Structure 1
Amino acid sequence: MKTVIQLKELSKMGYTTDVARSLAINIISRHCKHETKEDVVNVLKNIQEQPQTWLQNETWSKLAEYFCPEPDDETFQVYALKHQNDAAPLKVYGGKHIDTNAKQQMATALALPVALQGALMPDAHGGYGLPIGGVLATNNAVIPYAVGVDIGCRMSLSIFSENEKYVKRYAYQIKEALRDHTHFGMEGSLDYRNEHEVLDRSIFQQTELLRTLQGKAARQLGTSGSGNHFVEFGAIELYENNILQLPAGNYLALLSHSGSRGLGAAVAMYYTQLAMDVCKLPSEAKNLAWLDMNSEAGQEYWMSMTLAGDYAKASHDCIHANLAKALGLQALAKVENHHNFAWRETLQDGREAIVHRKGATPAHKGDAGIIPGSMTSPGYLVSGKGVDAALNSASHGAGRAMSRKKAKESFTNSALKKMLADYGVCLIGGSIEEAPGAYKDIDTIMSAQTELVDVHGKFMPAIVRMNKE
């Protein structure tokens, strides 16, 4: 039975022009014979709100192109890569734990004409453009794919006044709170709307792209993505003379990991394409196309990236506040840090640079951060030592030891359940793609970066909420 959507229904969804309605109806009639009306409506709404993420879709690309903001007409420039002998300097930490693909991607990044310095963290593995765990300083240029698609992806740790026994005593209440006050995955939202000042910022009105994303940002505030994003309760042991200046001992803690959701993804995809249009590079480096910080596009991206980072923080703030309120908990301290972002910083030699940390934790001297392991291994509360050769950075986690595809081929649900039971961990949602065995050993990674961070505490997960893939 064919899916039928009336013209007036399309108009209500924002398809107010004849061109938009004609494109939609033609695609539906040709390609959606076996789709439910609900699924098609969801796709149509998503395309209108986030057209950039559908530009590569074989079925819907023409409709996505119609809704995309038109980039300013700019001339493009062709760049060659530097010879290996002239490439920017690189410092690698824990090189024996890093795959060849990640090292090659980093070498390509260091050959960019704008590259000034690089560092590779011990949890590094291959990504798009810059490897995950790669840090790159550039000269007056920002590379959207060196920031990453999930702009502002970050960690947030709340430490409460209760002790570690709270998790066992109130396990049922914690599970119910996690089910009621967290949401994971691409679609859907919480049963209620969160409020935060970030949604009212005038920046949303400063570009056509941001205007189209404000509604989705409001719906997704306080929710998490898929993949390795999580919200989990557990116990943290704080060491003597810790950076938080709390008494040493065991505390209840809440740790979350997620980013800027659809807002950040749309910004990343739009400006990556724009960068590729104006900055032509050899094929092996095309995903490292940059925007000049003096250009209008560069300034727009920086403004949008900053908003996405603030939005990611706001989402974590909502998650932590909602869960604390539901459980009657009082936070004693909070530690948080981005690991997919770019900052203006000064290098050791005095040069001003744009420092991209894609899957890397800022570790300037005295910076507090949290480096997680897996759902059955510890995470660590750290402070940075401010090592210039590492571009003041550290790992953002244990890092993947195998791809999600390989993990699905290597593990079973029953084996995952047994492992979780052995470690006393309760998992709500989740999948074998995120099985602990898919990750490197966190203690091995921490041993490889002792010169980058000091450890102030150890967090162990107990009740973990993730997306069910």
Structure 2
Amino acid sequence: MENKNRITGEDLIKMGYTPAKWFKEALNFINENDLKGNELTTYLANFKFPKPIGLNINKVPFNINIRAENEIEEINVKNVTDTMVELMRTPTIVSGAIMPDACPTGPTGTIPVGGVAVANNAIHPGMHSADICCSVMLTDFGKVSPKDVLDIAQSITHFGPGGRSRDSQFRLPSDLLKEIEGNYFLNNQKCISVARSHLGTQGDGNHFLFVGTSKKTGNTMMVTHHGSRGFGANLYSKGMKVAERFRKELSPETLKQNAWIPYNTEEGQEYWKALQIIRKWTKKNHECLHNTTLEKLGVERKDRYWNEHNFVFKDGDLFYHAKGATPLDKKFMPDITGPRLIPLNMAEPVLIVEGETTSTNLGFAPHGAGRNMSRTQHRKSKLGTLEDIFTEETKNLDVRFYSNEIDITELPSAYKNAASVRRQMNDFNLGKVVDEVLPYGCIMAGNWKKNAPWKKKRK
């Protein structure tokens, strides 16, 4: 006979509980054991979340390592500062910093590019964004012709959406695959599929393959810039969903983009492990391109180092979310083998830097030159044909677009003044330049949307 006094989900909601995954299991137990009165209250106490956490009332300070040098930059700095003020209201955040290349992205309260946010025992997926572990790697090729390196690298690399065809894929290492399969966030067919097909790919936007020569030694060096592609984007999507569940239960007032996963939960532990696996994959992604270029040229590398600039770094109970900020402090990089890399734009050197933590930089430096305006604004500001603009801005450089279509939003004028960024790096003690990779040329995705497959099909 059906129990007319069965407890339902609606009853739990009326008692003040937020709908959650535990409802089903709890209701089964309650009704099977006919819990009532004190027994019911005692049992449900196991699922009672603490009182919702409000936003920070007191202003959490953050360090401003940026100075406006013209009217456009004044607007940019104000927007960046305003979004950081709102970001600092997030309950988990204890400190932060902005770098000379900072620029806003998303609504107010979203961590800006060139921003660092330090959280106590919490990982914020929205603060590392979908391009997890966006990073740069340098290989020293010795006295090899820069043109030869660029030519060979062009025959190997892959830009644009999607991954490689089956006959051109790199092999995913078995030990890395085993780690992926052992992680709750990554062990699904979609993740594993893109981990295979996106290996050895660079994406689009500001990602590049740069070749130049060392100012110190004259050696030819190759630098690649890209992140974890679809593999990392899948983790980001799952992480944001889990963080949103916690946000609704723990801190409904927190902005959705700033939701967090508590580190001391099972989800937090697994997400941290997943981030480290993404890091390993991304490093391998760089290595595939560098090692294959070395092999085809028949030379051995003289040196190599790399660093991410879009990641979460852990130091004790603190989690440093760097959204476009280069780690200077060695404690953030367990596999450090050399200095760090800061690219500026295709016509400027890639800076090779070293540095320490100071009271204002939190152990970080800028990750590049940043932007003062959006891509759309930049397009509208340029007069003349694409070819004329391209020719003017890339004089004496061998600049190639993988899609064979010029993307003027990646030309030097789209970025902040490189001399200004370098000057502010010095003024704010954000790393010391120990060498420079002087530009020979580069490969970028280009405007791949112009001739995208779906447009060809429509025609």
Equivalent of residue 180 in structure 2, options 170, 182, 203: 203
Shift of 1:195: 2.3
Equivalent of residue 443 in structure 1, options 419, 428, 446: 419
CA contact under 8 A between 2:198 and 2:231: conserved in structure 1?
Answer: no
Shift of 1:439: 0.4
CA distance in 1, matches of 2:85, 2:408: 32
Q: Secondary structure at the match of 1:155?
A: strand
CA contact under 8 A between 2:140 and 2:304: conserved in structure 1?
Answer: yes
Q: Which runs of 5+ in 1 are unaligned?
A: 1-70, 239-248, 347-351
Q: Deviations over 1:225-248 (max 9, x none)?
A: 11101112111213xxxxxxxxxx
Q: Secondary structure at the match of 2:273?
A: helix
One-letter code aligned to 1:302:
W
Q: Is 2:217 the counterpart of 1:252?
A: no
CA distance in 1, matches of 2:150, 2:436: 22
Equivalent of residue 170 in structure 2, options 190, 194, 208: 194
Q: Is 2:322 the counterpart of 1:376?
A: no
Q: Post-superposition, which runs of at least 4 consecutive aligned residues in structure 1 deviate over 3 A? A: 71-79, 173-176, 280-284
CA distance in 1, matches of 2:394, 2:186: 46
Shift of 1:295: 1.5
Who is 1:425 aligned against? 398
Counterpart mapping for 1:347-358 below 5 A: 352-358=317-323
Q: Is 2:135 the counterpart of 1:157?
A: no
One-letter code aligned to 1:359:
G
CA contact under 8 A between 2:352 and 2:434: conserved in structure 1?
Answer: yes
Counterpart mapping for 1:267-346 below 5 A: 267-280=235-248, 285-346=255-316
Shift of 1:258: 0.2
One-letter code aligned to 1:393:
F
Who is 2:56 aligned against? 82
CA distance in 2, matches of 1:452, 1:188: 36
CA distance in 2, matches of 1:468, 1:73: 48
CA distance in 1, matches of 2:345, 2:21: 44
Who is 1:219 aligned against? 197
CA contact under 8 A between 1:81 and 1:282: conserved in structure 2?
Answer: no
Q: Is 2:158 the counterpart of 1:183?
A: yes
Shift of 1:100: 2.3
CA distance in 2, matches of 1:264, 1:123: 24
Identity of aligned residues (%): 29
Larger radius of gyration: 2
One-letter code aligned to 1:309:
R
Q: Deviations over 1:354-409 (max 9, x none)?
A: 11111000011697200001111122000022224211000000111221222232
* Count of residue correspondences: 376
Shift of 1:468: 2.4
CA distance in 2, matches of 1:335, 1:160: 13
CA distance in 2, matches of 1:383, 1:403: 30
Shift of 1:287: 0.4
Shift of 1:209: 4.3
CA distance in 1, matches of 2:375, 2:286: 25
CA contact under 8 A between 1:227 and 1:467: conserved in structure 2?
Answer: yes
CA contact under 8 A between 2:153 and 2:289: conserved in structure 1?
Answer: no
TM-score by length of structure 2 reads 0.76
Q: Is 2:234 the counterpart of 1:263?
A: no
CA separation of 1:434/1:297 partners in 2, compared to 1, >3 Å: closer, same or farther?
A: same
One-letter code aligned to 1:383:
E
One-letter code aligned to 1:80:
G
CA separation of 1:330/1:274 partners in 2, compared to 1, >3 Å: closer, same or farther?
A: same
CA distance in 1, matches of 2:236, 2:340: 25
CA distance in 2, matches of 1:415, 1:421: 10
Q: Is 2:297 the counterpart of 1:363?
A: no
Shift of 1:177: 1.8
CA contact under 8 A between 1:393 and 1:452: conserved in structure 2?
Answer: yes
One-letter code aligned to 2:159:
F
Counterpart mapping for 1:86-101 below 5 A: 86-96=58-68, 97=73, 98-101=76-79
Q: Which runs of 5+ in 2 are unaligned?
A: 1-19, 24-46, 331-335, 448-459
CA contact under 8 A between 2:150 and 2:211: conserved in structure 1?
Answer: no
CA separation of 1:328/1:413 partners in 2, compared to 1, >3 Å: closer, same or farther?
A: farther
Shift of 1:436: 1.1
Q: RMSD of the TM alignment (CA)?
A: 2.3
